[in-house]
Amino acid sequence: MSTIKDVAKKANVSIATVSRVINCLGGVKPSTESRIREAIEELNYSPNVIARSMVVKRTQTIGVIVPDIANPFFPEVIKGIEEYAREYGFTTFLANSDESVDEESRILSALRERRVDGLIVTTASELDSPLVEFEFDSSPIVLLDRYIHKSPYDSVVIDNTRGAYTAVKHLVTEGHTKIGLIGGPSNVTPGRDRTKGYIQAHTDFEIPIRQEYILEGDFKEESGYRLGEKLLAMSQPPTAIFSANNLMTLGLLKYIQRRHLQLGKDITVIGFDDLDLATFIEPPLTVVSRPMRYMGEIAASLLIERINGAEFKEPRKIVLLPQLVIRKSTNNK
């Protein structure tokens, strides 16, 4: 692969001049410039940005760590990040921690060795996240979706409590008083806060809370299936279920389907996060939805601002509002 030196030789100039035209710094005689551009063309020269990064101390890369790329939420978010980042001249390293704190650690080290300019991460666990101890020197970090309490990082999250509250409130409005919860893991904010919203709605509307209705899953499909089964096998089963994420909702729906129960009649369901199935099934499923792509874009924009030196007294926390998308599944009264 040819270097700036080769181009310089071919165009009969010094490498400094070549560098000037590559970087559009001006101050080069037009005739020289065109000679250089020709040489670049002929040699099929491509500047080595990694050599450049050594001297400018910027790699123009950002690392993105997600816990489960197979959860349809993340591909959309990633699209948002990637698109925004590319527009600003950044390339993204994507890594999947598989909800594992250890894996998250390994990825973090690898990314640090690669000197990414910044990081967007959805941590595998708030409490023992490697980010808590992590020394990423001065590279900024933006937390996505999962907040870490008291951390010094910017974050973009959803008002999970509110989202869950709205969902449960909707069920109450529809007349339900026996509402089951298939909750998320309590080691991450989306898990905890959605449960909090569930409880708050019960309190506000003076509906007795039944501990046996509050179940904790792990955001994966299988747990939705299993916990759905558990709820519906009770002697006093709930008449409605709020499921705290898309994959668990999927599992729950599969269980309901398998038991030939009728959605919206035998059991009413509200999910958190939309999914293909939601608009497919009959009746279509009411869900709490959020702007995934936008979340990615915001995260990227916060990060790039920091990379470019923006300073703030406090870490910025962008809280987006989820939206209740009411479909027929909860609309029969």
Q: How many C-alpha atoms does 127 have within 13 Å on its Cβ side?
A: 6
State the Cα–Cα distance between residues 216 and 257, nearest whole angstrom: 21
Site string for its own copies, 195-214 (x = CB under 8 A): --------------------
Q: Is 94 in the site for its own copies (CB under 8 A)?
A: yes
- To the nearest 10 degrees (0 to 180), the angle between helices 4-11 and 30-43 is 130
Binding footprint of DNA, residue count (CB under 7 A)? 29
Among its own copies, DNA, none, the one that 186 touches (CB under a kind-dependent 5 to 8 A) is: none
Q: Measuring CA to CA, how many Å separate 175 from each of 59, 242, 270, 278? A: 56, 14, 14, 22
Among DNA, its own copies, none, the one that 45 touches (CB under a kind-dependent 5 to 8 A) is: DNA
State the Cα–Cα distance between residues 223 and 243, nearest whole angstrom: 11
Among its own copies, DNA, none, the one that 187 touches (CB under a kind-dependent 5 to 8 A) is: none
The DSSP result for 305-325, as a single string, is HHHTT---SS--EEEEPPEEE
Token pair for 103: 């894996």
State the Cα–Cα distance between residues 200 and 301, nearest whole angstrom: 33
Among its own copies, DNA, none, the one that 279 touches (CB under a kind-dependent 5 to 8 A) is: its own copies
Q: Is 298 in the site for DNA (CB under 7 A)?
A: no
CB of 135 to DNA, least distance (A): 15
Q: Per CB under 8 A, which of residues 121..160 are in contact with its own copies?
A: 135, 137-138
Q: Is 32 in the site for DNA (CB under 7 A)?
A: yes
Residue 36 or 278 having the CB closest to DNA: 36
Q: Is 51 in the site for its own copies (CB under 8 A)?
A: yes
Among its own copies, DNA, none, the one that 314 touches (CB under a kind-dependent 5 to 8 A) is: none
Among its own copies, DNA, none, the one that 321 touches (CB under a kind-dependent 5 to 8 A) is: none
Ramachandran bin of 194, using left for φ above 0, alpha for ψ from -120 to 50, beta for the remaining angles:
alpha
> Of 38, 42, 48, 109, which lies in the binding site for DNA, with binding defined by CB under 7 A?
48
State the Cα–Cα distance between residues 21 and 134, nearest whole angstrom: 40
> Of 93, 222, 316, 327, which lies in the binding site for its own copies, with binding defined by CB under 8 A?
93
